A and B are shown apart, each in its own frame.
Chain A
Amino acid sequence: MSTIEQNKAEILATLSEMIKEVIGEDWVSETPITMDTSFVSDLEVESIELVALSEKIQAKYGETVDFPSWLSGMELEQIIALTVGQLVDYIAKCQSSR
């Protein structure tokens, strides 16, 4: 695995834990979260849960990762199609351009 891939795997593992904490329901701790998992259709997250996720992301990765701005720049259709993998890629990109 390249360093980039390894980094993304770490981010995915971190995000998976955060998402499970935020949703806090049994089924989600038993469901593997992958790069293809969709926030809206698979996880059915509520927007207020995404705010909690945003807090966790900021606490972990700092101000270089601006999750609210990134989401606010998207069309509704894009947000609905949003996958965990896209967020992993975005965080990895923020880190590499730091």
Chain B
Amino acid sequence: MPIESIGGVRLHVQALGHRGSQVFLVHGMTTSLASFYFTIAPPLAEAHRVLMYDLRGHGRSEAVRTGYGVRSMAGDLAGVIDRFGDDDPVDVVGHSFGAAVAMRYAIDHPARVRRLVFSEGPLPVFLPDDDDEFPGAIDPERIRSEVQGVADAALRDLPEDVRRALAGKGRRVRRTSSRATVLFNQTSLMADLEKDNDISDAEIASLRVPIMLCYGTRTLPPMAATLTRLRAVLPQARVRMFDSGHLMLNEQAGPVAGAILEFLADA
């Protein structure tokens, strides 16, 4: 750590906590492990050894050109768990796109997962509106405005001054959108996700591990639709709702961490 070559891809890995069972955290698209590191990871680390990594093409991990479908991403998670996991099954928490990756992993490796937390995940994973014939060449300005648009939508519930400070047009947005430009234009992410962005109801229903679904009461429509779908396919799942939009880890870090700790203690 922190940069490890896993399956030939250089991935940025971080750990917090020294005792308890292991919990692996999988972040969402165009964010990084930082979305956990300063939110739910520290409270989880009081009772667990928490491991998190940047998805390929994200944060400080390598932006390799290919392998961005849900299955390939779950392959990276498998590599991280193989490298750092104990012999015992581990708990996996996925947020947003990372929830789909975590669920794919749990379906493909039922013996390796003890419990699954599916937080604010979309299934199918949705992409920026794609009316281009060649999704590999999207106008960087459009990506900038998509990134800004998703950020604005996710931020709409926050107080005005907070929103202004976070959604500024300065260095941070420039860097986030330039990274997204690489991801959308210089990798096969769009094409990969067109082929591999969903998990069938039958596969989801095959999950035998305890599952907790966590969503914000004011989440984005695709996430709300996913919650409805998963409640029908997984009637046994525990469901916890939080007073937030999609940025639930930032808005409700303490309560979300509390719910996860409770779930890991008694499920």
Contact = CB atoms under 8 A, between A and B. Distances in A.
Interface string B132-166: 00000000000000000000000000110110011
B162 A76 contact: yes
A47 interface: yes
Interface stretch (B39-47, B180-188, B206-214, B232-240): B39-47
B251 A76 contact: yes
* Size class of the contact patch on chain B: 20 to 34
Nearest to A69: B42
Nearest to A66: B42
Interface in A12-68: 40-41, 44-48, 50-52, 54-55, 66, 68
B226 interface: no
B30 to A, nearest CB: 12
Given A41-B165, A44-B171, A76-B158, A68 B32 contact: no
A3 B80 CA distance: 46
Contact of A51 (B14, B42, B45): B14
B159 A54 contact: no
Contacts of B38: 47, 50-51, 68, 71-72, 79
A48 B60 contact: yes
A69 B39 CA distance: 8
Contact of B33 (A40, A51, A77, A79): A51
A80 interface: yes
Contacts of A68: 16, 37-38, 41-42, 45
Contacts of A44: 168, 170-172
Given A66-B42, A72-B42, A46 B176 contact: yes
Which of A46, A47, A54, A80 counts the most chain B CB atoms within 10 A?
A47
Interface in B213-267: 250-251, 253
Given A71-B42, A76-B251, 14 more contacts: A44-B172, A46-B34, A47-B32, A48-B34, A48-B54, A48-B60, A50-B34, A55-B14, A69-B42, A72-B42, A76-B250, A77-B162, A80-B161, A80-B162
Q: Return the 10 tightest CB-CB contacts between A and B, nearest first.
A: A47-B34, A44-B171, A69-B42, A72-B42, A71-B38, A48-B32, A80-B165, A68-B42, A48-B34, A48-B59
13 contacts: A44-B171, A47-B34, A48-B54, A51-B32, A51-B37, A66-B42, A68-B16, A69-B43, A72-B39, A72-B41, A76-B250, A77-B161, A80-B161
